[in-house]
Amino acid sequence: MKLDFPRYTERLGAVSIHTVQRIYELDSGKSKGFLTSHQTIKKFDYDEISNILHDLAIVIPMKNEKLKLLEGVLSGIPNECLVIIVSNSSRSPVDRFAMEAEAIRQLGRFMDKRMIILHQQDWGLAEVLKKVGYTSILDEDGRIRSGKAEGMVLGLMIAKMYGKDYVGFIDSDNYVPGAVNEYIKIFAAGFGMSNTPYCNVRVSWVFKPKVRNNSLQFSKWGRVSEITNKNLNSLLASITGFETEVIKTGNAGEHALSMNLAECLHYSSG
């Protein structure tokens, strides 16, 4: 992969927020021994990306998604990654979760890929969280709340249990498996460029296709992203005193973070 170094950075205390970086080549070939980077361009070869992928877990939160769609997402994830699927799918009258688990078991035999699936409403998981004192994501009945954020937190915990250094999130409604593969390699390149163990990588994928009214639509910005970006930039401007548009991925579904950063985050509902 070949991409540029950050051209502009907003700083807020110890936090640096880089502007969107341009990717010039998704596959820049095998390094041939000459200089792979210069002052403005960074190049990663296969081995560098692969080494980071071995330390990366990919979490897929899902709920009642089409199995064929899930299969496509799984096929796009590089084989080096650990895959963690956190399902909140219905158990009755049709047990969607059982169907998902069986599909993943079958795929796992052919893919030879490390994949874990768990249900967000599993009572056993809730009991474990009670025992370790992590009760903030439990509801009044002692179950894990059914939101997407709670599923992401569970995915982070499983990744930490397996000793992973990085965690990436991929939405289960991606219709293009090749795009999933590109997202994850972009995560790896971002971690490879970071000079701090506390790193968050977000993908700005302009014209990501969405299915609406039974057809593909290529919206430049998602409706929520447009509002989120505007408000986050306004917040930054109110603190620094200078207007900014540095945040363009405030609501990106595809993002990744280092485990060191994840351990610093606090859960908050609402």
Every domain range in the chain assigned CATH 3.90.550.10 = 52-203+253-262
Which class would CATH give 52-203+253-262? alpha beta
Pick the closest to residue 131 from 141, 142, 121, 120 (CA basis).
142
Pick the closest to residue 149 from 2, 15, 269 (CA basis).
269
pLDDT by position in tens, the chain (length 270): 889 898 899 998 889 999 998 988 888 877 665 455 577 888 898 889 999 999 999 999 999 999 999 999 999 999 999 999 999 999 999 999 999 999 999 998 888 889 999 999 999 999 999 999 999 899 999 999 988 999 999 999 999 999 999 999 998 888 788 889 999 999 999 999 999 999 999 998 765 666 667 776 666 556 677 888 999 999 999 999 999 989 888 877 789 999 999 999 887 766
- State whether the Cα torsion 153-66-79-114 is positive or negative: positive
Using DSSP's 3-state secondary structure scheme, residue 130 falls into helix
- Residue 206 is predicted with a pLDDT of 64
Beta carbons within 8 Å of 38's beta carbon, 6+ residues apart: none
Helices (H), 194-247: 223-240
Pick the closest to residue 17 from 201, 230, 264 (CA basis).
201
- Residue 178 is predicted with a pLDDT of 87
> Cβ–Cβ contacts within 10 Å for residue 89, how many?
19
Burial 192-226 (b: 16+ CB within 10 A, else e): bbeeeeebbbbbbeeebeeeeeeeeeeeebeeebe
* Cβ atoms of residues 145 and 137 within 8 Å: yes
